[in-house]
């Protein structure tokens, strides 16, 4: 095990996969400048800076994937993915199905998202649900350095296009990462904290928010379980339903807007497949349907924080007890 940041874990995964498979190449705005060691190891043909033209970069990657290569493209900030929607959604996500399954389209698209750096609304916008809605795309959003490495390796090896989001607030978070071959399968959630009274479901930075809230609730005798989705599509419904069956209460916490989002999907899953297990209404604690502020204070106020999450759970238990 080696202690490293999320940024270092991503870099290590890229280096290992480029060493393992000569078809892997890295394209993007400044990637050759940021990863000079990869240029030295694998050549300028496989690690290439691109113009600030997201549609062209994504279109080039789709063509490379269709030609048998395995491109990884870095489009920097999530809102810039809107420039690449045709290539990612209308081509990468659909061409495998349109070929009758005859062709694979391995493509990993990297983008940073979420609060924490005060980069403003045009650079900070949680768009993950937009890509969950796109047929053929897989969507990954880890919370730990080990999972960033393991899921990045799995995404590069996958036969389908994967949109891989990095929560900005986690970029320099440190954690233990297994050395050597470490692959985390797509579509498998992780139980970060076992509990019996209430289930938290989260991903990316809000996993840490839920863990902090769970610690606070423990002093009140409330034992919370924390599920880290890790992959938003495919979604590990079995792990979520198993936890609900155990605790009977569900709280979903995301930074993204709750409108038609991942939190809404988890709530619908509970309502349609675990209603008989629920002992309280499902809670969704999400970000607002509004552009992200550039102010640090306003940015923190706009997304769920541990104290607010813990207080919401306390109110839930108090309301249920009052009705009983």
Please give the positions annotated as active site: 123
Q: DSSP alpha helices (H): ranges in the chain?
A: 6-20, 31-34, 36-42, 54-66, 85, 95-98, 128-132, 145-157, 205-218, 237-247, 262-273, 296-302, 306-323
Which 3-state string (H, E, C) describes 225-275?
EEEECCEEECCCHHHHHHHHHHHCCEEEEEEEECCCCHHHHHHHHHHHHCH
CA distances (Å), origin 321, targets 277, 280, 315: 17, 10, 10
The CA distance from 76 to 35, in Å, is 14
Neighbours of 184 (CB within 10 A): 22
The C-alpha torsion from 287 through 291 and 93 to 165, rounded to 10°, is -60
The CA distance from 202 to 170, in Å, is 14
The CA distance from 4 to 174, in Å, is 5
Residue 162: phi and psi, rounded to 5, are -125, 130
The CA distance from 108 to 80, in Å, is 15
CB 153 within 8 A of CB 14: no
The CA distance from 138 to 170, in Å, is 21
- Which residues touch 299 (CB under 8 Å, ≥6 apart)? 115, 116, 118, 124, 292, 293
| DSSP code at position 277 | G
The C-alpha torsion from 285 through 193 and 143 to 174, rounded to 10°, is 130
């Amino acid at each position: 095990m080696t202690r490293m940041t999320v940024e270092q874990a991503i870099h290590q995964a890229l280096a290992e996969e480029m060493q393992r498979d000569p078809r892997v190449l890295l394209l993007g705005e400044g990637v050759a400048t940021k990863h000079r060691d990869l240029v030295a190891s694998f050549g300028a043909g496989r690690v290439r800076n691109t113009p600030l033209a997201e549609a062209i970069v994504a279109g080039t990657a789709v063509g490379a994937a269709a030609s048998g290569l395995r491109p990884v493209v870095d489009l920097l900030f999530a809102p810039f993915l809107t420039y690449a929607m045709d290539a990612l959604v209308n081509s990468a996500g659909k061409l495998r199905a349109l070929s009758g399954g005859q062709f694979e389209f391995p493509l990993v698209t990297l983008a940073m998202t979420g609060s924490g750096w005060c980069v403003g609304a045009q650079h900070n916008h949680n768009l993950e649900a937009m890509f969950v809605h796109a047929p053929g795309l897989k969507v990954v959003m880890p919370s730990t350095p080990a999972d960033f490495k393991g899921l990045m390796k799995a995404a590069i090896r996958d036969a389908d296009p994967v949109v891989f989001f990095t929560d900005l607030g986690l970029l320099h978070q440190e954690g233990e990462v297994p050395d050597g071959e470490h692959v985390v399968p797509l579509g498998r959630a992780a139980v970060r904290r076992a509990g019996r009274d209430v289930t938290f479901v989260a991903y990316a930075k809000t996993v840490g928010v839920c863990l902090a809230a769970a610690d606070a609730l423990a002093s009140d005798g409330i034992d919370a379980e924390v599920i880290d989705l890790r992959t938003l599509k495919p979604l590990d419904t079995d792990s979520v339903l198993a936890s609900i069956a155990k605790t009977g209460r569900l709280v979903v916490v995301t930074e993204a807007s709750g409108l038609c989002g991942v939190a809404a999907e988890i709530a619908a899953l509970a309502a349609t497949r675990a209603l008989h297990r629920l002992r309280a209404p499902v809670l969704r604690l999400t970000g607002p349907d509004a552009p992200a502020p550039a102010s640090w204070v306003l940015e923190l106020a706009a997304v769920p924080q541990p104290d607010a999450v813990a207080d919401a759970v306390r109110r839930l238990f108090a309301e249920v007890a009052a009705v009983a």
